Structure 1
Amino acid sequence: MPRRFAATDLHGCLRTFRYLVEQELRLRPADHLYLLGDYVNKGPDSRGVLDYLMQLQDFGYQVYCLRGNHEHELLATIHGTPNANDMWKLAAERAMTLASFGVTRAAAIPAQYAQWMASLPLTLELPDFVLVHAGFDFALPPAEMQQDTHSMLYSRDFVFDPSRLGGRRLLHGHVPTPAAEIKEKVAARAGAIGLDAGCAFLQNPELRHLAALNLDSWELHLVENREDPYPIARR
């Protein structure tokens, strides 16, 4: 029987993500893997993560990817569009991300990556879960709530209202959360669960994990960062 997993905030950590997919989950082509955004920046190999995701999809794996704020902002940078939320607050992050693509400016990133990122939806509805990168503004009417791009990409605090999602649970990322807190939420089968375990923050012992949740068994898989040392590793 196909299994369903959700994970998020890969942030260029290709070696860690490959280990999660191939060794920890042992993902099969019939399984469904839902990824909640932020594949680029912070970690060492943004291009490698995108290549691997596209390769999995090309090979017939059921990998469903949402857009995160870092893809949103990278697209804005590629197209020269002003963006109030600048993904590159540190020059070292910019240099490392561009180096992974073999370019010195965002506009030179090959078009295939921009096209793939631009095609990513902001939310996905399953029979029992709603998936989004950051969250929703639950004060809005349901139809407007799921059209509010800023909250879906950038929310850090919200008051969860399951009635606005038809009684379904919410899975999101965006806010790095210690693995112990994620374990508690999963054990309680909370209505809203953030799965960003701060994988990119290699030097932070409370974070530095990639989390994947089995949506049927509720088993939580945690893989510690397996990358070689890199500049942006502390939070």
Structure 2
Amino acid sequence: MRRFATTDLHGCLHTFRYLVEEALRLTTADVLYLLGDYVNKGPDSRGVLDYLMHLQASGYQVHCLRGNHDQALLDAARHRWRWDWLGPRGRLPTLRSFGVARLSDIPARYLEWLAALPYEIELPDFVLVHAGYDFALPAAEMRRDHHAMLNTKKFVFDASRLDGRRLLHGHVPTPTAQVCARAATHPGALGLDTGCVYRHNSELAHLTALNLDTWELTTVANREPGYAIGKR
């Protein structure tokens, strides 16, 4: 059994499929952890969700966490909030991928799948979360602060607050070379978001998976057909 983690797919279906089927050659004996943000920004949010559901239904051990973009889509669709913070470049591709004009028209099965996603996954040697934790809070409160777990961009890591386990997260796009260099040191906390969706940025534009046992990184360059997105 091999264990992998990756994150921040953002509608990049072709790249994710290549990672799973060609680069990792995932089998049903392996375990793959996804750290959130499957939707928005990129070209095929629905396709990513369909593929994740297909893998799970086909017996693959694929475990998915909730990200801030998944939460935003869920909230906007169910509560009909105004959803302007992403702008049209982030919003319209998502709507087009579902074939709807309003987020409230997204089919219920996708919203139900998103609503069932956990905020964290605990393993014997790692804790997985989308963004991180507010380590300044009391331990029990820290693990209930869902806003920080989905949205924080800075934290001071304290392994003692996680019973000595390492932390894996996504959320903050980081140059691929920087993530590779940091992973080589086997740090206590590691961010795996190498900004796959930002296809114009040569320092990003990769989807990165970590082997949790060997610390080997597998990186795949963005393989999507052309789509409009702002540079980061």
Cα RMSD between the aligned structures? 1.1
1:138 to 109, 126, 135: 135
Q: Could you say which residue in structure 1 is the equivalent of 2:39?
A: 40
Q: Could you say which residue in structure 1 is the equivalent of 2:21?
A: 22
**Equivalent residues in 2 for 1:156-175, closer than 5 Å:** 156-175=153-172
Q: Could you say which residue in structure 2 is the equivalent of 1:122?
A: 119
Could you state the TM-score of these two structures normalised by the residue count of structure 1? 0.96
Distance in 1 separating the partners of 2:151 and 2:30: 29
Letter in 1 for 2:101: T
**Equivalent residues in 2 for 1:58-97, closer than 5 Å:** 58-80=57-79, 82=81, 88-97=85-94
Helix, strand or coil for the counterpart of 1:79?
Answer: helix
Letter in 2 for 1:97: T
Identity %: 63
Distance in 1 separating the partners of 2:87 and 2:108: 25
Distance in 2 separating the partners of 1:89 and 1:33: 29
Structure 2's unaligned 5+ residue stretches are none
Q: Within the alignment, does 1:230 sit opposite 2:217 as a pair?
A: no
Structure 1's unaligned 5+ residue stretches are none
Q: Could you say which residue in structure 1 is the equivalent of 2:175?
A: 178
CA shift, 1:159, in A, is 0.2
Distance in 1 separating the partners of 2:148 and 2:214: 29
Q: Within the alignment, does 1:207 sit opposite 2:179 as a pair?
A: no
Distance in 1 separating the partners of 2:199 and 2:230: 5
Distance in 1 separating the partners of 2:203 and 2:194: 9
| Aligned partners of 1:74 and 1:87 also within 8 Å | no
Q: Could you say which residue in structure 1 is the equivalent of 2:192?
A: 195
Q: Could you say which residue in structure 2 is the equivalent of 1:12?
A: 11
Helix, strand or coil for the counterpart of 2:79?
Answer: coil
CA shift, 1:88, in A, is 4.3
CA shift, 1:136, in A, is 0.1
Distance in 1 separating the partners of 2:63 and 2:37: 13
Q: Could you say which residue in structure 2 is the equivalent of 1:112?
A: 109
Distance in 1 separating the partners of 2:42 and 2:231: 11
- In the TM superposition, structure 1's runs of 4+ consecutive aligned residues that sit over 6 Å from their partners are none
Name the stretch that deviates more: 74-83 or 184-193. Answer: 74-83
Distance in 2 separating the partners of 1:27 and 1:233: 32
CA shift, 1:184, in A, is 1.4
CA shift, 1:89, in A, is 2.2
CA displacement 1:64-110 (0-9 Å, x = unmatched): 00000001000110012548xx5742213211110000001000000
Letter in 2 for 1:179: T
Letter in 2 for 1:167: G
Distance in 1 separating the partners of 2:201 and 2:164: 35
Distance in 1 separating the partners of 2:84 and 2:207: 20
Distance in 2 separating the partners of 1:147 and 1:82: 24
| Aligned partners of 1:13 and 1:227 also within 8 Å | yes
Distance in 2 separating the partners of 1:87 and 1:210: 27
CA displacement 1:92-146 (0-9 Å, x = unmatched): 3211110000001000000000000000000000000000000000011111111
Distance in 1 separating the partners of 2:85 and 2:139: 33
